[in-house]
């Protein structure tokens, strides 16, 4: 997967995706300072990988580092929800396919929690002598789900149906998510996914 070796880390080139607000730019910069070793990819790169017809591009494993309530409003199709604070790095590595190289892309609301997980995994892999870790690349999605949703990219609800809404995390961080996209979800519909019970 040649493209995964040098992913783009700019704000992207898709029509309209360069229109990132000051708050989002400041948050992305703060996250890069806080987690300097976490490798980033931008939303254009991930979208390209997910929509590629090449078999190697299908090795992408999406990890949603948000809380259950956030995940149950919307997430990227095929994403696994993961407890970013308590996840055992070796357990995550062991869960990856052993017979192929894997590309892990972690995301959360804005990128802070996912950058923490990416850095934790990268540190663990750097000191591990286990073979499968050599085939694994781990990235943080710059701007994460807020940027993805603001750009109108595909997300699904717990039933797997397309949705445009996203959990705003809270009223402060939610300012980086376009207000019409806000949803705190309907707890009565949370039973549609094993992660939403």
User: pLDDT digit string (tens) for 2-23?
Assistant: 344 445 444 443 434 447 799 9
Range of the domain at 130: 40-192
- Write out the H or E segment, with its range, that includes residue 106: strand 102-107
Positive/negative CA dihedral, 11, 17, 159, 182: positive
Q: Classify residue 84: in a domain, yes or no.
A: yes
Question: The domain that contains 71 carries what CATH number?
Answer: 3.40.250.10
**Domain tally for the chain?**
1
Q: Classify residue 1: in a domain, yes or no.
A: no
Cα atoms in the 13 Å half-sphere on the side-chain side of 18: 3
pTM: 0.85
- Cα–Cα dist 27/46, whole Å: 20
Q: Classify residue 159: in a domain, yes or no.
A: yes
Q: Classify residue 80: in a domain, yes or no.
A: yes
**90: helix, coil or strand?**
helix
User: pLDDT digit string (tens) for 106-116?
Assistant: 999 999 999 99
Q: Classify residue 78: in a domain, yes or no.
A: yes
- Cα–Cα dist 110/169, whole Å: 9
Q: Classify residue 173: in a domain, yes or no.
A: yes
Give yes or no for residue 135 having a pLDDT over 50: yes
Q: Classify residue 34: in a domain, yes or no.
A: no
């Amino acid at each position: 997967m040649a493209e995964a070796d040098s992913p783009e880390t700019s704000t992207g080139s898709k029509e309209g995706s360069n229109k990132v607000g000051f708050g989002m730019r400041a948050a992305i910069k703060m996250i890069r300072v806080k987690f300097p070793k976490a490798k980033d990819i931008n939303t254009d790169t991930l979208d390209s990988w997910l929509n590629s017809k090449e078999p190697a591009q299908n090795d992408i494993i999406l990890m949603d580092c948000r809380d259950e309530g956030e995940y149950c409003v919307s997430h990227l199709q095929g994403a696994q929800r993961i407890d970013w604070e308590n996840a055992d790095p070796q357990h995550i590595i062991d869960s990856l396919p052993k017979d192929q190289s894997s590309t892990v892309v972690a995301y959360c609301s804005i990128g802070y929690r996912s950058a923490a997980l990416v850095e934790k995994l990268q540190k663990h892999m750097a000191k591990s002598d286990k073979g499968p870790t050599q085939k694994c690349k781990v990235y943080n999605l710059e701007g994460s789900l807020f940027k993805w949703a603001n750009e109108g990219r595909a997300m699904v609800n717990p039933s797997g149906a397309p949705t445009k809404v996203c959990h705003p995390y809270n009223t402060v961080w939610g300012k980086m998510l376009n207000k019409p996209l806000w949803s705190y979800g309907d707890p009565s519909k949370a039973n549609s996914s094993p992660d939403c019970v």
